Structure 1
Amino acid sequence: MSGVLVNLRRFSVGLLVFAGLLVAGWLTYRPDRALRAATTAVAEMICAKTFVSGLDPQTTFAETMERPGLRRLRAVMRYRVEPEMRAVDASLLGLHASRASYHDGLGCVSLQGQKPPYVPHSDINALRAAGLAPALPDFADVNPVEPANPALKAALDHAFEEPAGPPLRRTKAVVVIKDGRLIAERYAPGISVETPLMGFSMTKTVTNALLGILTRQGKLSPSIPAPVAEWQGSSDGRREITIEQLMRMTSGLALDETNSGFDASSQMAIHRDMAAFAVHAPLISPPGQRWAYSSASTQILARIIRDAAGGPEQTIELAWRELFNPLGMRSATLQYDGTGTMQGHANMLASARDWARLGLLYLGDGVVGDRRILPDGWVAMSATATLDTDYGAGLWTNRSPHVHAQGRARAGIPADAFFAFGLLGQRIVMMPSQHMVVVRLGDSIDADGDIKGVARLVREVIAATETPATAAK
């Protein structure tokens, strides 16, 4: 009998230890938050592509659920579109539900918690109408510019070709600008020259531009310590983090992005105030010494922009007055978190032509027409590689000995090129030596976002537009 009691005690202790480990693991990793991050991503994506882009929600859902991290949830993910409310709900068989609602000119905002989201009181149509004539070329033709050059036409054909099997490339739009002139473009069925398309992390380049504008105005500087109230304690090592270190993703904060659902950049999305969540991350290395890709770092910059501009409404006015209107980016749709802070890390939508206009700003060293938008030297700084990476400060770059930069150069993308990159193969390729901008937008779920296809497109476009004198050099 005593042996049985001993075994029972051992079993009970073991069961308690196991239960304790389960609870500790749950509290540490919070799988519920990862699942909420997934439903939030689905609700926001269907909302934006339905009510901003005007695309079919069923197709959007099918394509979204092919993404890594979401694919395994396909069988249990559910969504509902409410056209009258202009809202989308997503859940996992009714659990971990998320809701996103559309607001005119401001995209879709997620409902997080019981408190309703703050929606900026801004009339986007009035801001658009208040703009002067854009300083960049006005690509006014409502029809796509089909190239007469057979080689250029073949380059577009190849950009839209699909492989025999998955992963599919799903190219949605291609725009080619040479010497400031729109020379070729093509769109997938259902996409027009005016359709706003999701840029994902290409939005980080918009954040870079707004930081540049505020720097030109004397309100910010990359070299100053980031003005984050939560970091100002006398013994807080985070008070030494500079704006440029956040831009270069070398802050040393525990904000590494893995897209697993458990990382800070994924879980940031389930918080009403994204930046407030991100700024509480601890230091894991001295600032400036370690690089790790981090959307959460860029969202901290979005709050810094908001504060420097004077608030949510003032941020929107700044974006339209100083950036979108001068470039003629009439379709630009920034989206916001529940506090009215722009989602500076991702999720802006714009037409392919408007994304190309952003590329022209950087191709022109921050100047459009006779107007300087970005400070002198800003583009060079942004395109200069960070540490031993091929990332600059809001831009990716070929101006680096990194293996990825060298690989792109060997594939035909010039060594002086730099890029705005976004998830699923969103690309703005800026090539000063070619006086060229190439935009490719799509939904490619392969691991590298169809960079091989983009490199082929760039290589063939360059070959098709070379003059005999240029080709001989």
Structure 2
Amino acid sequence: MYALAETLALRLPLESGSRCLIDSPGVNPRAMSRSIGRIAILWWTLGLALIASLAYAGLTLSRIAPIGTGYAAKILCTGVFVSGRPAQQVIDEDIQAGVHPLLHLVHPTVDVQARRARATFLGMAARAAWFRPGLGCTLKLGDALAGPATMIEPASNRAPPNATQATNVHDNDNALHAVMDSAFDEPDPLNPRRTRALVVMQNGRIIAQRFAPGFSEQTPLIGWSMSKSVIAALIGVLVGEGKLSPDATALLPEWRGHEDARARVTLDELLRMTSGLQFNEDYDDPLSDVAIMLFAEADQSAYAARKPLDFAPGARWEYSSGTTEILSRVIRQALGGTERDYLEFPRRALFKPLGMRTAVFEADAAGMLVGASFVCASAGDWARFGQLLLQDGVWDGKRILPPGWVRYMREVTLQSPRRDYGAHIWVKVPEPFDSHASPPPALPPDAFHLVGHEGQFVSVVPSRELVVVRMGLSRPEKAWDHETFLARLIDALPSAPVETGGAK
């Protein structure tokens, strides 16, 4: 390096003549050589740093791109083939509006004949999701998709007597009308709410509902993490049948090895998000565990089950979609039987008895139900599920959930920092959907909530015989202040529920 520097120094010309700098009076040739050598080293260091940075960026991009294309393919497939929406609307709103800027470089397409959605990133990292009737859409991450090509038994077309019929008995009430309309307002263009559906049910009947253009009472929409509460209800069915118990341990075969501390994790700790298992749920990180699991892993429950303990079971609360995927596998093991028995279980145990005709529980490529995120249903059918919880698990005179199970789900998990979580259900409106007013609006203390990504809500208020469903695409999520909305809605209703003979 010094030899190169000396060569460069000897060849530097002066402005006024042909003498080299090394021949100039008062110049120390060795000092000048060392100075130029340092400059050369600096440039070499900067060059190497640039190359390393580009290599790291390329490696990171190579990991992010398949997640982005997986997300785009899955969302587009479900939007078109499950929800029945125009492909371009799904691309413009759900995939490219207000999310990670790299998604603008993703190119999604739909093949209607093949019932497939596909996405590429700059022509690379291709991912495809396939639609199967009754099973919804699944990312194909491997050679084949587990599970049947279609589900044989459809959901029941018969609604239980008087259940959730759209009577709109209060829809002419000016106060209620104003609150309903306000949910679809966009007061801040930089923080769009994008409310898509709103259903208000009181005493077992729909008394008011609104839908954004392009959506209707028959449009199934992704519940995202509201799906977790459906998993909790399915667990409850199995508890009622004596196939599971909240204090059960050694839940998975891979946790039963010699001195594996995960064998001590209980079913209750999974339901309450206190398992201690490592899992990164950061939605702003495109390489978080939740993004990798949902959009880059063929067997999502296996991915979550491989995680080590981060802290002792029961020591603290950490929200984790991975724990719900583990519960999906626990359900599979408890049921026994065939793969079809497992995939039909949600319909047989919940959707058909409740008349949830639009409900679809999507599975991953390994044939495991994606309980963390992918239950799709119309707003009215989500209201039916909320009504089941309001009625302590009884529907049309038949007990679906065991006595006390809804009360168990609503018991506060003391480790949750704001005392806002129960067992796969929220007992307070969580951040960032809570009010920022001081003091915040008061909600009835018995209210509880199913909550999903981007502002999906089923709020149940037993003391008011009330179920409120809000579906939307709020980006950022803080754009939807559910706590304030719900308080205003309750104020607009009669102080006592109207007796209309609902789905008891």
Q: Same fold (TM over 0.5)?
A: yes
Q: Which moved more, 1:322-331 or 1:57-66?
A: 57-66
**Is 1:138 matched with 2:163?**
yes
Identity in percent:
35
8 A Cα contact 2:435 2:483, kept in partner: no
Q: C-alpha distance in 2, partners of 1:469/1:55? A: 36
8 A Cα contact 1:408 1:455, kept in partner: no
Cα distance change of structure 1 residues 2 and 176 upon mapping to structure 2, 3 Å threshold? closer
Residue 16 of structure 1: CA displacement?
A: 12
State the match for 2:90 in structure 1: 60
State the match for 2:493 in structure 1: 465
Task: Describe the superposition over 1:30-57 as per-residue Cα deviations: whole angstroms up to 9, x where unpaired.
Answer: 5533321221111111110111111122
Cα distance change of structure 1 residues 26 and 228 upon mapping to structure 2, 3 Å threshold? farther
Cα distance change of structure 1 residues 262 and 180 upon mapping to structure 2, 3 Å threshold? same
State the match for 2:258 in structure 1: 234
Q: Which amino acid aligns with 1:52?
A: V
Cα distance change of structure 1 residues 16 and 66 upon mapping to structure 2, 3 Å threshold? closer
State the match for 1:262 in structure 2: 287
Q: Residue 397 of structure 1 aligns to a residue in which SS? A: coil
Which of 365, 388, 392 is the matching residue for 2:392? 365
Q: Which runs of 4+ in 1 moved over 6 A?
A: 5-27, 143-146, 405-409
Q: Give 1:29-108 correspondences, 5 Å limit.
A: 31-66=61-96, 70-108=99-137
Residue 239 of structure 1: CA displacement?
A: 0.9
Normalising by structure 2, what TM-score? Answer: 0.83
Q: C-alpha distance in 1, partners of 2:4/2:457? A: 68
Q: Residue 410 of structure 1 aligns to a residue in which SS? A: coil
8 A Cα contact 2:155 2:355, kept in partner: no
Cα distance change of structure 1 residues 370 and 279 upon mapping to structure 2, 3 Å threshold? same
Q: C-alpha distance in 2, partners of 1:211/1:350? A: 20
Q: Which amino acid aligns with 1:372?
A: R
Q: C-alpha distance in 2, partners of 1:87/1:371? A: 39
Q: C-alpha distance in 2, partners of 1:279/1:290? A: 19
Q: C-alpha distance in 1, partners of 2:433/2:74? A: 35
State the match for 2:316 in structure 1: 290
C-alpha root-mean-square deviation of aligned residues, in Å?
3.3
Q: Residue 88 of structure 1 aligns to a residue in which SS? A: strand
Q: Which amino acid aligns with 1:217?
A: E
**Is 1:332 matched with 2:359?**
yes
Q: Give 1:320-399 correspondences, 5 Å limit.
A: 320-386=347-413, 387=415, 388-389=417-418, 390-398=420-428
State the match for 2:304 in structure 1: 278
Cα distance change of structure 1 residues 183 and 399 upon mapping to structure 2, 3 Å threshold? closer
Cα distance change of structure 1 residues 147 and 12 upon mapping to structure 2, 3 Å threshold? closer
Residue 135 of structure 1: CA displacement?
A: 4.8
Residue 271 of structure 1: CA displacement?
A: 1.2
Q: C-alpha distance in 2, partners of 1:428/1:446? A: 19
8 A Cα contact 1:65 1:71, kept in partner: no
State the match for 1:422 in structure 2: 452
Residue 14 of structure 1: CA displacement?
A: 6.8
Cα distance change of structure 1 residues 287 and 329 upon mapping to structure 2, 3 Å threshold? same
Cα distance change of structure 1 residues 99 and 359 upon mapping to structure 2, 3 Å threshold? same
Q: C-alpha distance in 2, partners of 1:306/1:20? A: 49
Larger Rg: 1 or 2?
2
**Is 1:158 matched with 2:185?**
no
Q: C-alpha distance in 1, partners of 2:383/2:497? A: 27
Residue 67 of structure 1: CA displacement?
A: 6.0
8 A Cα contact 1:246 1:297, kept in partner: yes
Q: C-alpha distance in 2, partners of 1:15/1:467? A: 71
Residue 158 of structure 1: CA displacement?
A: 0.9
Q: Which amino acid aligns with 2:241?
A: Q
State the match for 2:269 in structure 1: 245
Q: C-alpha distance in 2, partners of 1:201/1:403? A: 14
Q: C-alpha distance in 2, partners of 1:151/1:66? A: 36
Which of 428, 434, 444 is the matching residue for 2:474? 444
8 A Cα contact 1:178 1:437, kept in partner: yes
State the match for 2:140 in structure 1: 111
Task: Describe the superposition over 1:313-365 as per-residue Cα deviations: whole angstroms up to 9, x where unpaired.
Answer: 11233212221111111110111100111111002110110000010111111
Q: Which amino acid aligns with 1:195?
A: T
Residue 406 of structure 1: CA displacement?
A: 11
Q: C-alpha distance in 2, partners of 1:444/1:469? A: 30
Cα distance change of structure 1 residues 20 and 406 upon mapping to structure 2, 3 Å threshold? closer
Q: C-alpha distance in 2, partners of 1:237/1:231? A: 8
8 A Cα contact 2:168 2:207, kept in partner: no
Q: C-alpha distance in 2, partners of 1:98/1:164? A: 35
Residue 144 of structure 1: CA displacement?
A: 7.5
State the match for 1:192 in structure 2: 216
Cα distance change of structure 1 residues 106 and 407 upon mapping to structure 2, 3 Å threshold? farther
Task: Describe the superposition over 1:10-34 as per-residue Cα deviations: whole angstroms up to 9, x where unpaired.
Answer: 899979996997799689x855333
Q: Residue 207 of structure 2 aligns to a residue in which SS? A: strand
**Is 1:319 matched with 2:364?**
no
Residue 404 of structure 1: CA displacement?
A: 5.7
Q: C-alpha distance in 1, partners of 2:328/2:385? A: 18
In structure 2, stretches of 5+ residues that fail to align are: 6-33, 499-504
State the match for 2:17 in structure 1: none
Q: C-alpha distance in 1, partners of 2:247/2:109? A: 46
8 A Cα contact 1:33 1:267, kept in partner: no
Q: Residue 448 of structure 1 aligns to a residue in which SS? A: helix
Cα distance change of structure 1 residues 16 and 232 upon mapping to structure 2, 3 Å threshold? farther
State the match for 2:327 in structure 1: 301
In structure 1, stretches of 5+ residues that fail to align are: none
Task: Describe the superposition over 1:154-204 as per-residue Cα deviations: whole angstroms up to 9, x where unpaired.
Answer: 111111111242221111111111111211111111212111111111111
Q: Which amino acid aligns with 1:309?
A: L
